[in-house]
Structures are given as C-alpha cells and as structure tokens.
C-alpha cells in the first residue's frame, strides 16, 4: 500500500462520508451512525437508492468483465470504495488471472480495509494507493510501479464523478492523455434525468452534509469521453448498459438515476 500525504488518514465520524453511506446502502457494516442517518434520509426521498447502488456495482462487474474478455490486462480503479465482493480484481482475474489492478481512494476508511483488495492471484497483482483523484501525478506515478503505462489500461471512476465539479473534465483529459492508445475509460454517475426531483433533494442533503453532489445529464456526462470512441450501447442508464438477466429483473422494479459509459482511446 502506498499513498500521498495530501489524502487524510484519520477517520472523521462527525460527518457522513460517501464511501460509508454507499456501504450502508449496499448492506455493508463499515459505516457509522452519521452515515446511516444520511443514507436513510436519501432513501426517504429516493426509494431507489439501494437498488441504484447495487445496479451501479453490477455495471462495474459487466464493464470490467467485457474489457477483460477483449484482452485488457491492466486496470486502474479510482474511487474504489469499501471492499464489496466481488471486487474489481476478482472480476478481472476471474477472466485472466494475470491481470494487474491498482486501486485508489482518498477515504481513510477505504485505506483501513484495503488489505481485502490485495488478495489477487499469484500470476497477477493488486496494489492500493491512498490518494485523491485530483492528484493525477501522484496516482499515475504510484500506479506505474504496478502497471505498464505504455500498454493499454482500463481506467475506471465508477460512481465518483458526481463528487467532482466541472474541473473534472480537464482532470479526466489529463488522465486520458497519460494512458496508451487502446486504453479504456469506464464511468458512471448520478444523473438528474430519470428522477429530477428526488436527485435534486439527494444533492441538497449531500451538500448540507459537506459533500457537494454534481448530478449530470447524459449530454454533460458524455463530455467526459470527448475524443474517445464510445463502446456500444453508448451512454445509458446503468441498468441498460449491456444488461444481463439480473438487470432486466431489476429494471422491472423501475429505473435508477445512474448513467454509465465505456469508451476507448484511439
Ligand atoms: C459511491 S462510492 C463508489 C465505490 C465504487 N467505485 C463503486 O462504484 O462501487 C465513491 C467512492 O469515491 C471515493 N471518492 C470520493 N471523492 C474522491 C476523491 N476526491 N478522490 C478519491 N476518491 C474519492 C469515495 O471515498 C468513495 O469510496
């Protein structure tokens, strides 16, 4: 495990944290009463929130499996979250055991649990970087100790960009510039399109708790993939991105306000 001193190391239980709120929504145990309180308030205005978290997680699994099946062997996952099985390396190494995976997050609770992410196959490798996504130099420098950045990498920020303001467009362009041709970008985030009122209220709760939320429309979200080739089916609600039977069953319960896309750097 490596990291940057700019990311905090002490767990703050006085206010809710996104990784812990999400953990509560996924049914995890690595959260505190402040996180549960915000998660319950979110559920009260957006009854799909727990389903949305699970659907988002399944999107990550499908996207990683699809990229691994088409030959990607290196993964850089930023905004990893508290470990929740199957984790990304388990999906990638399930297809190709030699896959190498670097995780990064800036939340000290993820750092505390990161050991569970370092249990990859002997043929492959996993590493954890404690750093902020807004520090690309540190993340890329430390990732390069495990990944060959001259070869294609799948960079994923799954359910992360909605915590970043519009400086994220330049930030993601910096990451894309640093990656080799043939690399991929995997993204999902909260969108106001499918449930405008509920998402507006959720954003309000987050902002009041000290974590501003930036929902984006499909058009705004698509700008993250500028200059890259979007894989089929393009930018879609998470439940509609190459859905499997579980997603089709989940969709019958109604839409969830998360959108996703995967693109390739030419
Ligand atoms: C909603 S969780 C998503 C976890 C996982 N990617 C998934 O989709 O299942 C968002 C994660 O992004 C992390 N995060 C938020 N802001 C970040 C930042 N500025 N730098 C790095 N990680 C960040 C949080 O700590 C949290 O673990």
Confidence grade of residue 5 (pLDDT, cut at 50, 70, 90): low
Confidence grade of residue 9 (pLDDT, cut at 50, 70, 90): confident
Whether 108 shows a pLDDT value over 90: the answer reads: yes
- Mean local confidence (pLDDT), 124-152: 97
Whether 15 shows a pLDDT value over 80: the answer reads: yes
Provide the pLDDT for residue 7. Answer: 82
- The answer to whether the CB of 49 falls within 8 A of the CB of 24 is no
Q: What is the pTM of this model?
A: 0.97
pLDDT digits (tens, 9 = 90+) for 222-255: 999 999 999 999 999 999 999 999 999 999 999 9
Confidence grade of residue 155 (pLDDT, cut at 50, 70, 90): very high
- Mean local confidence (pLDDT), 187-191: 98
Instruction: Look up residue 82 and give its DSSP letter.
Output: S
Quickly list H helices, the chain: 18-25, 33-45, 49-69, 88-95, 108-113, 136-143, 168-178, 196-208, 218-222, 245-251
The finding on whether 158 has its CB within 6 A of some atom of ligand 1 is yes
For the chain, domains (ranges, CATH) are 7-264 (3.40.50.150)
- The answer to whether the CB of 42 falls within 8 A of the CB of 50 is no
Confidence grade of residue 3 (pLDDT, cut at 50, 70, 90): confident
Q: Which of 101, 106, 171 to mutate to test the pocket of ligand 1 (most atoms within 8 A of CB)?
A: 106
- Mean local confidence (pLDDT), 42-62: 96
The finding on whether 16 has its CB within 6 A of some atom of ligand 1 is no
Residue 75 and residue 68: Cα distance in Å, rounded?
9
Phi then psi for 62, rounded to 5 degrees?
-65, -40
Task: Please report the atom of ligand 1 found closest to the CA of residue 109.
Answer: 25
Q: Report long-range pairs for 90-94 (Cβ below 8 Å, ≥24 apart).
A: 91/60, 91/61, 91/64, 91/65, 92/64, 92/65, 92/67, 92/68, 92/124, 93/120, 93/121, 93/124, 94/65, 94/68
Whether 195 shows a pLDDT value over 70: the answer reads: yes
Provide the pLDDT for residue 263. Answer: 98
The average confidence (pLDDT) of the chain is 96
Provide the pLDDT for residue 130. Answer: 96
Q: Which of 107, 110, 162, 257 to mutate to test the pocket of ligand 1 (most atoms within 8 A of CB)?
A: 107
The finding on whether 136 has its CB within 6 A of some atom of ligand 1 is no
CA of 80 relative to ligand 1 center, distance in Å? 6
- The answer to whether the CB of 143 falls within 8 A of the CB of 108 is no
- The answer to whether the CB of 121 falls within 8 A of the CB of 90 is no
Nearest CA to ligand 1 atom 23: 79
């Amino acid at each position: 495990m490596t990291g940057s001193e700019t990311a905090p190391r002490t767990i703050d239980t006085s206010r809710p944290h996104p990784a812990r709120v999400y953990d509560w929504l996924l049914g995890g145990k690595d959260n505190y009463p402040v996180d549960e309180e915000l998660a319950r308030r979110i559920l009260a205005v957006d009854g799909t929130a727990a389903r949305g978290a699970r659907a988002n997680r399944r999107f990550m699994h499908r996207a990683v499996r699809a990229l691994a099946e088409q030959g990607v062997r290196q993964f850089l996952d930023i905004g990893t979250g508290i470990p929740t099985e199957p984790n990304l390396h388990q999906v990638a190494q399930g297809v190709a055991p030699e896959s190498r995976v670097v995780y990064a997050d800036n939340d000290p609770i993820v750092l505390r649990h990161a050991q569970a992410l370092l249990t990859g196959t002997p043929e492959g490798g996993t590493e954890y970087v404690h750093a902020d996504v807004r520090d690309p130099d540190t993340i890329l420098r430390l990732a390069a100790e495990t990944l060959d950045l001259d070869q294609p990498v799948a960079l994923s920020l799954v359910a992360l960009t909605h915590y970043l303001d519009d400086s994220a467009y330049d930030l993601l362009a910096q990451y894309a510039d640093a990656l080799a041709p043939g690399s991929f970008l995997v993204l999902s985030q909260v969108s106001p399109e499918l449930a405008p009122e509920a998402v507006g209220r959720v954003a309000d709760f987050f902002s009041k708790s000290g974590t501003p939320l930036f929902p984006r429309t499909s058009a705004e979200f698509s700008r993250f993939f500028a200059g890259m080739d979007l894989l089929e089916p393009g930018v879609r609600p998470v439940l509609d991105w190459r859905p499997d039977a579980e997603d089709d069953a989940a969709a019958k319960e109604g839409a969830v306000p998360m959108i996703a896309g995967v693109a390739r750097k030419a």
